[in-house]
Copies of this chain bind each other. A is one copy, B any other.
């Protein structure tokens, strides 16, 4: 890629971003669009257009984002989102502080070097103007390389300092969350799994109750045995579906009365497959009938479920959150894989069907999933390597000579060269997250947030290994394969050798991601279009309308690994091609702004894990840092600069730093510290309410009397004191 195509790519991206931002400014002030641009505020019962949002100033949202405090983020979007911003600003800090020192020093050092042609790193594309600013421009063994070596240390030290500060800060945030005087149901419950077989003449409920009442005579409140809800969920969902359809039909009928004939046209539907075949019936009557059929079916299934489908897991409730926190950390049974306890997840994120999975089965599942993921990474690597090698125009031309005339047209060539490989990569990556999420769920993890963390970890390793290493090595595949054949030892310096060749590729990749990615994010063009289409053609009731605009959450499972990939790329190139640092700074700076806006106004978190995501982010930033340090070592060796040995302590320091920080902070992210949860509550908890929060919707009809829950849900402890 030459300099002009790089500039074209940058320019186009920027132009698209500006257009999208202007679109956002214009669209977001239209009253009909508020539910798309301010759903979070609306759901919180706030005025969507409060503050400066009414103006047509395209920078107002930036002002608002900048002036918002961490407390605003917490109150609008929860602690997990606040932690995400700590992540963003920490990374931003690392890159900005690195750039401030590295750019003014390393660029001149590289650019003023004379003897250009000795460089060995011209494998991909011809040498061009940009490359003059890279480390590859400095002669081998040159004393100028000292500046780059010191730069490597500087980036590492800045990272350690900011990461340590961030861990402390997040730990404080988590403590604030856990000591909050609000009554949160999950703080009063523990999740018990692997309950041993019931002895003769005892029900599961009696077994659980007597076990915990013996240990916690004063603070045990009640237990809820987990049931197999598959059947009852199915019936309940059908019922809810019919209810929705009935409401829809009634709305259609009412509308037809208002617009057409005064007696209206009663809507009809067909009973067969997808409403396309079968007998034609009156919808309102049909659905009413169906609902009346389903209700008794649901009720009887609820009873059957509660009585006969009990499983060997339970939620146990305590009248005191300190006891619950302590209980979740203590060993209860002499045989460790019986009565295993953990803290209860939030009711909304419990994955009920995973709770019954047994101790050793969970571990076996985990290892199986790891093996599958490892294989996936391995087998994705090969096609990605080829894709990136093929999608380089030069290679394409070599391989498919007949496309030459087309791509040699200057303008087409420029655009293709700028975007082709990056788009191929982005599309490819979009296929994976669903797979990783369902694999993580199959591990037997009990909560959604934990599944997201697990999936995001897998995705990170996947993207670093495949995208970064795959593209880098792949892009020089044709040239390097021969080299390896000649000298197998060169594998060790393979990555380091390939890095400079892919520098411009990644520059463009980062630029594409931030301008186009964040432009689309901010303008919400796609959700807007979908919303308006749905409103026009499908939604008849208020509930349907709400479903059409109801926003998702931030989507950590893919967002965090995406950011991590950018960070990895920017870190690894920070010394080799310091020009990438400003791009990284813009990516994280712009991301911070856009997402701050989205967090305050758009997204609604679907769970709250009180910052448990942080240790994963921390670990992965560190992994990226170590990859950077090892790569730099390899690159210095490739540049025949043997003081590179001075870099050997760096990865060791990083490992030690990771060890020390996890020793100092990590356990608090697993368990609730007692000094934190012993803070006073603002009111005496209503235990009935706490308990009911955990009843799955499909079991929690108002019609069902409390005494029917006795079977699986156990009675209120008679000795319980409500303190």
Number of interface residues of A (CB under 8 A): 38
Given the complex, which residues of B lie within 8 Å of A668, measured CB to CB?
331, 333-336
B363 in contact with A674 (CB, 8 Å)? no
Mask, A305-341, CB within 8 Å of B = 1, is: 0000000000000000010011101111111110100
Report the minimum CB–CB distance from A79 to chain B (whole Å).
14
- Beyond A329-B331, A331-B668, A332-B674, is A337–B214 a contact (Cβ under 8 Å)? no
A674 in contact with B335 (CB, 8 Å)? no
> In the complex, what distance in Å separates the CA atom of A660 from the CA atom of B336?
11
- Beyond A214-B678, A215-B322, is A331–B663 a contact (Cβ under 8 Å)? no
Given the complex, which residues of B lie within 8 Å of A386, measured CB to CB?
none
Considering the complex, give the chain B residue whose CB is closest to the CB of A339. Answer: B675
Given the complex, which residues of B lie within 8 Å of A325, measured CB to CB?
330
Best-buried of A325, A336, A668, A672 by chain B (most CB within 10 Å):
A336
B673 in contact with A334 (CB, 8 Å)? yes
Report the minimum CB–CB distance from A593 to chain B (whole Å).
31
- Beyond A326-B330, A360-B660, is A336–B665 a contact (Cβ under 8 Å)? yes
Considering the complex, give the chain B residue whose CB is closest to the CB of A678. Answer: B215
Q: Taking the complex as formed, is A171 at the interface, i.e. its CB lies under 8 A from any CB of chain B?
A: yes
> In the complex, what distance in Å separates the CA atom of A667 from the CA atom of B359?
14
> In the complex, what distance in Å separates the CA atom of A337 from the CA atom of B325?
19
Within 8 A of B (CB), among A360-375: 360, 363
- Beyond A326-B330, A664-B335, A665-B336, is A674–B360 a contact (Cβ under 8 Å)? no
Considering the complex, give the chain B residue whose CB is closest to the CB of A662. Answer: B336
Q: Taking the complex as formed, is A129 at the interface, i.e. its CB lies under 8 A from any CB of chain B?
A: no
Q: Taking the complex as formed, is A146 at the interface, i.e. its CB lies under 8 A from any CB of chain B?
A: no
- Beyond A322-B215, A329-B330, A330-B329, is A336–B666 a contact (Cβ under 8 Å)? yes
Best-buried of A666, A672, A678 by chain B (most CB within 10 Å):
A678
Given the complex, which residues of B lie within 8 Å of A675, measured CB to CB?
211, 214-215, 332-334, 339
Given the complex, which residues of B lie within 8 Å of A172, measured CB to CB?
334
Q: Taking the complex as formed, is A676 at the interface, i.e. its CB lies under 8 A from any CB of chain B?
A: yes
* Subset of 14 A-B contacts with CB under 8 Å: A174-B334, A175-B334, A215-B674, A326-B326, A330-B674, A331-B671, A331-B672, A334-B673, A335-B665, A336-B663, A336-B665, A336-B666, A337-B663, A359-B663
15 additional A-B pairs beyond A330-B330, A335-B664, A363-B663, beta carbons within 8 Å, are A171-B335, A175-B334, A211-B675, A215-B675, A326-B330, A329-B331, A331-B668, A331-B673, A333-B675, A334-B668, A334-B673, A335-B665, A336-B663, A337-B664, A360-B663
A-B pairs, top 8 by smallest CB distance, nearest first, are A336-B667, A331-B671, A326-B330, A334-B673, A175-B334, A215-B678, A329-B330, A331-B673
